[in-house]
Amino acid sequence: MDGLKRGSAAIVGVAESDLGQVADGMSVVDLMAQGTRRALDDCGLSLKDIDGLFCATAQSRLSVLGLAEYLGIDPKFIGSTIVGGSSFEFHVAHAMGAMALGLCNVALIAYGSTQRTIGRKQASVREVNPYETPFKPFLPSSAYALAASRHMHQFGTTRDQLAAVAVAAREWALLNPAAWEKKPLSIADVLSSRMVSYPFTVRDCCLVTDGGGAIIVTSAERARSLKKPPAYVLGCGHSVTHANITSMPDLTVTGALTSGKAAYKMAGLGPADIDAVELYDAFTINTILFLEDLGFCKKGEGGAFVSNGRIAPGGSLAVNTNGGGLSYCHPGMYGLLLLIEAVRQLRGECGARQAKDCEIAMAHGNGGVLSSQATVILGAPSTL
């Protein structure tokens, strides 16, 4: 992200809305506002301080207008970029850029979804694609399954290795009181579960929950005076490679390769410097692909890398420490929850799931069908 200055902005407030299955009658804007109130309380700011507003949801075309109206604010700068679940990592970079130009000083980034309550088909309408729709794929699962099958064919990745991702996520979730899933999970459990789209069983696929949240971003100068230690934005990067899976240039290489390089360059860091890695795990293959493309292991070695508990609690790399989209929650567009967990890890607020000596954390968002990728590297005050 040329032009953005390392550490010039920070995330100072974070909060989830209600998660799982929310109360009847709750709207997506209700959830955004709920998260907003909690995030403001987290950092000690108030609604009158917000002069930048960013949000996105599949359930409201004009969500930024609806949220501004609901909160009773007239922000100087707004953004409603929607590129799927990575939208919020894009928003962090956009907010940082707006602050650098003096367009706003305190930005709210919010999300909400009631997809479990109202039904996934009502929450996200599928568009007709003349090259894919006639074959009746079960989207998005079949799109990600295509990438997984190709990875298995090209590199020898196994179903057991995919299952290891789900098992690790569940082990982290069991340490998170807010996680949806509460039962232990084994590789055998994953493999014997209901098949969804080969090679995925239902345990290879993310949860379908309601939920949302909010984060507050402000200038580094303003951040120093607030309630909790800031999580400074050290690096950002993004990439858009396609919209539909049949147009993906290479099913085993994602835009995380590009977004990660940009974020590392801006931060002046590399994979070995990251203490906690929060990846958008809509499906088990995601974690493998992103660990490869973000440089934590070589291309094709992701399956072996995630095996034997390496990314589980007690392993050598803390990955998806809240339980991820596979076991914590997945309200349609999960990217904001990655940022919330990354900030909490840097603050040391995560209790039993706390990554040891966490000073640098990564949140990597994914949107569409491996279509849009965005990487944010955050650092504790000691990293400036």
How many Å is the maximal CA-CA distance in the chain? 57
Phi, psi of 278 (to 5 degrees): -105, 110
Clarify whether 328 is annotated catalytic.
yes
Contact 361, 241 (CB under 8 A): no
The one catalytic residue among 144, 232, 264, 328: 328
233: β partners: 378
Look-up: residue for tokens 């807010």?
178
Total residues found in the chain within this entry: 384
Give dist(CA 369, CA 379) in Å, integer. Answer: 29
315 by Cβ neighbours in 10 Å (0-12 / 13-18 / 19+) ranks as middle
Which tokens in the block code for residue 133?
Answer: 């729709």
Clarify whether 70 is annotated catalytic.
no
DSSP 8-class letter at 272: G
Beta-strand relationship, 231-240 and 106-113: unpaired
Residues known to be catalytic: 280, 328
